[in-house]
Chain A
Amino acid sequence: MKCDIILAGVGGQGILSIATVLGYAAVESGFYLKQAEVHGMSQRGGDVQSNFRISDKPIFSDLVPKGKADLIISVEPMESLRYLPYLSETGWLITNTSPFKNIPDYPDEEKVIAEIKKQPRHIAIDADAIAKEVKNPRGMNMVLVGAASVFMDLDYELMKKGIEVIFGKKGQEIVDANIAALNAGREFSKKNK
């Protein structure tokens, strides 16, 4: 088992919550994990990425080599494209389609979606809308975890457990809302892959 993931988004969108849930499931499964994060300057609304690697064998590099990522999970559509050089020949691009526009020259949305659809293996999911549908407007990140779960050799029940552990302090309602988001994302991928 080996899964190399690039997590992408914009500073402040909380991509690390994705890593936390996946990390919980990976560690509980006894896998090795390395996760390079971005702290500092770029967090102020700039592009951010995290290299997330899990494996049943020891991992050397903290960075995913270009051309070796099994998954790109992006919470923002244009950001998903920034990391295409990392995606392997068999890798999947999983991205939110709701744009985060904080630059004046943000490209035409349709062109961004067209580039995503050019990718032979992609899941383009309006995670913001789905999160709202399951009455968890802040659950966009968990929708994407669910969407990615279909492509990972990682116990789905452990992902749910991860959500329980991480959001437990905030109460059962929040836990349930996030699990609903997770499930909705997973269903979407199953139907659209």
Chain B
Amino acid sequence: MSKKRMLLLGDEAIAQGAIDAGASGFYAYPGTPSTEIMEYAQHSKFAAERNIHRTWSANEKTAAEGALGMSYAGKRAMAMMKHVGLNVAMDPFVNSGITGANGGMIYTVADDPSMHSSQDEQDSRILGKFALIPILEPSSQQEAYDMVFHGYQLSEKYMTPVLMRITTRLAHSRAGVEVRDAISQNDLKLPEDKRQFVLLPAIARKRYKVLLENQKNFLAESENSVWNKYLDGNDKSRGIIACGLAYNYLMENYPDGCPHPVIKLCQYPAPENMIKKLVEECEEVLVLEDGMPMVEADLRGLLDRDVKVKGRMTGELPRDGELNPNLVAASLGLEMKEGSPVPEIVKPRPPKLCSGCGHADMYNAINEVIKGKYGDGHVFSDIGCYTLGALPPYQSINSCVDMGASITMAKGAADAGLFPSIAVIGDSTFTHSGMTPLLDAVIDKNNIIVFIADNSTTGMTGGQKSHAEGRAVEIVKGLGVHPDHIRTIVPIRKNHEEFVKIIEEELEYDGVSVIIPQRECMVTLAQKTRAAKKK
């Protein structure tokens, strides 16, 4: 076996792991902090040599279904997304637990506790539990790499999809990873039971029983997993359950070894026997977990069972936000001396639109017409760089909820009688989840104006290819918006008057108008110019 070491981000370790573990396809929509898994696979020469599928999907649902199709065909697949992406993919995610897998199937979902780049900090482990499938939660880049091999084995052994849950900290932290020799991909092989994936009620009921029957196997796998460890300690006044990365924060505080018994928990369902032993031996149990208090709540149960459980629900740790070594130290009652406080003169430095970004020109025009004449409160927006239009100097938008919500919320508000009712959505977000909302508005002949800020890329996540590139107008036409009310404009300062005029004209029209400002993102433009210079 080769002993090659590579310096990899957690995301990259997972991509390299999947490539080496015989994956035939990656399916994903970008989303911080999961984006770099696909980007690594796309740049990998080895993945190219192995002819691995690795192009972006329109959204997380199509990604999950694409991966499931590859699994149906007997090959190993991975679907990757950020935590809120799993909400979008929830339908295939839960139902694939019932169909089961054929070729190995892993969902890698990256959570973002502390919301570094997200709208919420939901915990995907809870959704994995809901889908009744095994969950892996690596505590290091090396484990992330190795767990992909393990995940595919587990998946094929029980014909079940597996969830790999990571968080921002692991996704975006680099460390040395020892990689193994690559194993070959699976051959094309259809499921033996040709109705396995047909979830007609009669079949689904049978498949669901298979999944329920498998729960005891999943539990046994957790009890015996190499990733779950019972590490004994002499001081039984407290036992500690440390999930995933939290184990590192614990050990950071006990460099010479933890005096208390510890369960390092990295594979779920949570190993009941191991935990029972800890509870029986220790006076109280402290649960350290990033995200929501899932293990803690399970342990506590609905009724008080005389187990003293401490953690996020009892105030030893904050209820929200990412864990870190200092918070864990405090929960252990250890003192840790911080440096001096941040001087008062230090000001926050929020992110902002790049200088020269076309979104700024769009908001200048919208502000002049809409905010200027009708006041604040008319603009529903969405998720992307253009969400920064919420901050000064623009303060143009009034919502950002989930991808695609801008158009449907504008529609709903128009139904309620709001005029004008405006939606602002990016091109990539439009093809992710904006097309069906626009269809709703067209069918209902809503009086709304939709801005599709078309910068030819997925800017917020670093400039990935946008499915809308070069086809936004055609899509809008195809969805039934009247061609006279599909307006394009290049958002630059010299076109401001024209832009304003277009908006004013479309305000006159009682129906769905779509205005498409089209100018490339400054960042991808600069990248292209640089690349062209090199040639």
Contacts and interface: CB of A to CB of B under 8 A. Distances in A.
Interface of A: 10-11, 23, 27, 32-47, 51, 59-63, 65-67, 69, 78-79, 81-82, 84-89, 91, 102-103, 105-108, 111-112, 115, 119
Contact of A32 (B33, B117, B172, B176): B176
A81 B169 contact: no
B388 interface: yes
B524 interface: no
Nearest to A106: B347
A65 B326 contact: yes
Contacts of B494: none
Given A34-B174, A36-B173, A65-B325, 14 more contacts: A11-B351, A37-B174, A39-B462, A40-B461, A44-B388, A46-B349, A46-B350, A51-B173, A62-B169, A67-B336, A78-B345, A85-B340, A89-B337, A106-B347
Contacts of A11: 351
A27 B169 contact: no
A33 B388 CA distance: 35
A112 B173 CA distance: 30
A88 B173 CA distance: 22
19 contacts: A33-B174, A34-B174, A36-B172, A38-B116, A39-B33, A40-B116, A41-B32, A46-B351, A61-B248, A62-B245, A67-B339, A84-B343, A87-B339, A89-B339, A103-B349, A103-B350, A107-B345, A115-B345, A119-B340
B33 A62 contact: no
A45 B248 CA distance: 31
A81 B325 contact: no
Nearest to A79: B349
Contacts of A33: 7, 174-176
A46 B388 CA distance: 12
Given A60-B249, A81-B343, A65 B351 contact: no
Given A60-B252, A63-B324, A82 B342 contact: yes
Contact of B347 (A38, A66, A105): A105
B179 interface: no
Contacts of B35: 39
A107 B346 CA distance: 7
B397 interface: no
A43 B460 CA distance: 9
B329 A44 contact: no
Given A41-B117, A44-B351, A108-B345, A87 B329 contact: no
Contacts of A65: 252, 324-326, 329, 336
Contact of A102 (B32, B338, B352): B352
- Top 4 A-B pairs ranked by shortest CB distance? A40-B32, A40-B117, A46-B351, A65-B325
Interface of B: 7, 9, 32-33, 35-36, 116-117, 169-170, 172-176, 245, 247-249, 251-252, 255, 324-326, 329, 336-343, 345-354, 385, 388, 460-462
Looking at A45, A105, A107, which has the most chain B CB atoms within 10 Å of its CB? A45
Contacts of B175: 32-35, 59, 62
Looking at B345, B348, B460, which has the most chain A CB atoms within 10 Å of its CB? B345
A71 to B, nearest CB: 12
A100 to B, nearest CB: 9
A27 B350 CA distance: 34
A37 B462 CA distance: 15
A35 B36 CA distance: 15
Contact of A45 (B255, B340, B352): B352
B351 A85 contact: no
Nearest to A12: B354
Nearest to B248: A60
Given A84-B342, A111-B345, A37 B9 contact: yes
